[in-house]
A and B are shown apart, each in its own frame.
Chain A
Amino acid sequence: GQQVMQIPQYQHVQEGEDFTTYCNSSTTLSNIQWYKQRPGGHPVFLIQLVKSGEVKKQKRLTFQFGEAKKNSSLHITATQTTDVGTYFCVFTSGGSYIPTFGRGTSLIVHP
């Protein structure tokens, strides 16, 4: 069956340091989305990646989709306390339309 790992589960950083979370799949993904959930809040859509090797940027956030469409990453440059939250990858594979959430990476930023 489909196996997707999101790592790390937690990441503590000092404000100003960089942060990266990864989603790795054993099968080819159709597309991947990234969401952020602040503590006590609800998931908020960040980006969707569809093409092999796609790279998208939003200010300090960089999203990548691997060439084989089996992995994706979210990189935050120079973290700020406002970046605190849990980042989820959401994916589908094959002909499925069922969105599957990764377990999430919780980012803790120390001022």
Chain B
Amino acid sequence: KAGVTQTPRYLIKTRGQQVTLSCSPISGHRSVSWYQQTPGQGLQFLFEYFSETQRNKGNFPGRFSGRQFSNSRSEMNVSTLELGDSALYLCASSLSAPSSKDTQYFGPGTRLTVL
């Protein structure tokens, strides 16, 4: 079974731009969660989608949004990029239970650099 895939792997943007990241979960997994990892703040939960609906949301501004498609693939969007948005963005998939109660399988991440 193929693992979680994320595209692109690396991205460089400038302040004020917007960016869209993509995640394809493991086949059969219906839950997709997104995390931001930075040296200063560690790993922080952004949001979780299940059956095309946002099920849980972390404490991030509205510039961070996401969606999930009928095939469980998910995208996250960050608008009006700030320097502090530079981070590794990780996607994780799980079968169905809330991500905090289930085994999560992480993708390799997208390294976003904002200049």
Contact = CB atoms under 8 A, between A and B. Distances in A.
Interface of A: 30-31, 33, 41-45, 48, 88, 90-92, 96-104
A27 to B, nearest CB: 15
A98 B103 contact: no
13 contacts: A31-B101, A42-B90, A42-B107, A43-B43, A43-B104, A48-B101, A88-B43, A92-B100, A92-B101, A97-B48, A98-B58, A99-B45, A100-B45
B44, B58, B99 pick with most chain A CB within 10 angstroms? B99
- Interface of A, secondary structure class, is strand
Contact of B44 (A44, A101, A104): A101
A33 B43 CA distance: 14
Interface string B77-115: 000000000000010100000111101111111000000
- Interface of B, secondary structure class, is strand
A45 B90 contact: no
Contacts, number: 53
A106 to B, nearest CB: 11
B56 interface: yes
7 pairs of A and B residues whose beta carbons are closest in the complex = A99-B100, A101-B43, A97-B98, A42-B106, A92-B100, A45-B103, A43-B106
Contact of A101 (B42, B103, B107): B42
A45 B94 CA distance: 11
A63 B106 CA distance: 21
A103 B106 contact: no
Contacts of A97: 48, 55-56, 98-101
B98 A42 contact: no
Contact of A103 (B42, B99, B103): B42
Given A98-B56, A98-B58, A101-B43, A42 B108 contact: yes
A44 B100 contact: no
A91 B56 CA distance: 15
Nearest to B35: A101
